[in-house]
A = this chain, B = another copy of it.
């Protein structure tokens, strides 16, 4: 292996539904990529095994063998402690309520040093450095997917608070409103998170509302309402899909405006599974709703769709390994 080859890095985006990996060169160009389902059984060891296998596939795709990467970064949900190399309380991953030494496990499997970061924050950093936020110093990333996560970059630096910042999905947009998967009421995510939207769709169907959502789900061989199911139903003007997506747009607009009123960021970047898929078509409607609730409309933030698409999280993770 030539010394320059050792400059390639791996990135793993660990999601509740899927694992996305990339291998990038010094300029963060993607050399190889792979994707797999996140195991729903077997807990952290099974998930770590799947992550390592998926990264190995991306590395192979790029022409790299075991131990030939300079380093590997991981964007993970839950509480991430990079110093300790652990991930704890990843509620949306199977059997991961405790603490797992993920960095050591992956490092041994893959033969490279492993750095850990928060999934939403690394995706925001990727957009900030390489994507839709390149021209700005201060950005808010809004990741619209199973939940709604937020990433904050202020004057070029990640803002993590005491480690739990960015929970934009749990800003209250309707006091006393719909119950959120987190247990609270009226959170933005209670209206806009894909998991909450699915729960609501099931409820409406039970009440007798007509919808094609679940037929489309089965036709696609899925057991959850994925982003592609929502997209297809929305294209077919399914009334339940349309109603729930409209509610999501209104909630996203109000929540994003609240965050902008508080932080006065230069740029809002819409990402995540639903955000990337719907960004071009529905982004302008979210932006319009945001404008309705801005305190001052004199210098609204730029409103962009994530430029790195589905790979942003994995590319951001690879940035951790610089």
Asked whether any CB of chain B lies closer than 8 Å to the CB of A308, the reply is: no
Find the B residue at minimum CB distance from A180.
Answer: B295
Asked whether any CB of chain B lies closer than 8 Å to the CB of A138, the reply is: yes
**A162's contact among B159, B163, B299, by CB below 8 Å, is which?**
B299
Copies in the complex: 2
B-binding segment of A37-45, A93-101, A108-116, A164-172:
A164-172
Asked whether any CB of chain B lies closer than 8 Å to the CB of A296, the reply is: yes
Chain B residues, Cβ within 8 Å of A162: 138, 264, 266, 299
Find the B residue at minimum CB distance from A168.
Answer: B262
Complex Cα gap A202–B164 (Å): 42
Q: Are A164 and B299 in contact (CB under 8 A)?
A: yes
**A173's contact among B159, B172, B184, B251, by CB below 8 Å, is which?**
B172
Q: Are A293 and B250 in contact (CB under 8 A)?
A: no
Asked whether any CB of chain B lies closer than 8 Å to the CB of A263, the reply is: yes
Asked whether any CB of chain B lies closer than 8 Å to the CB of A276, the reply is: no
**A160's contact among B163, B177, B255, B264, by CB below 8 Å, is which?**
B264
Asked whether any CB of chain B lies closer than 8 Å to the CB of A66, the reply is: no
**A171's contact among B138, B164, B171, B185, by CB below 8 Å, is which?**
B171
CB-CB contacts below 8 Å: A247-280 with B: 250-251, 254-255, 257-259, 261-266
Chain B residues, Cβ within 8 Å of A185: 293
CB-CB contacts below 8 Å: A125-171 with B: 138, 150, 152, 154, 159-168, 170-171
Q: Are B262 and A259 in contact (CB under 8 A)?
A: yes
Q: Are B263 and A184 in contact (CB under 8 A)?
A: no
Shortest A86–chain B CB gap in Å is 16
**A138's contact among B152, B161, B173, B187, by CB below 8 Å, is which?**
B161
Complex Cα gap A263–B154 (Å): 11
Complex Cα gap A152–B263 (Å): 9
Interface residues of A (CB under 8 A from B): 138, 150, 152, 154, 159-168, 170-177, 182, 184-187, 250-251, 254-255, 257-259, 261-266, 292-296, 299
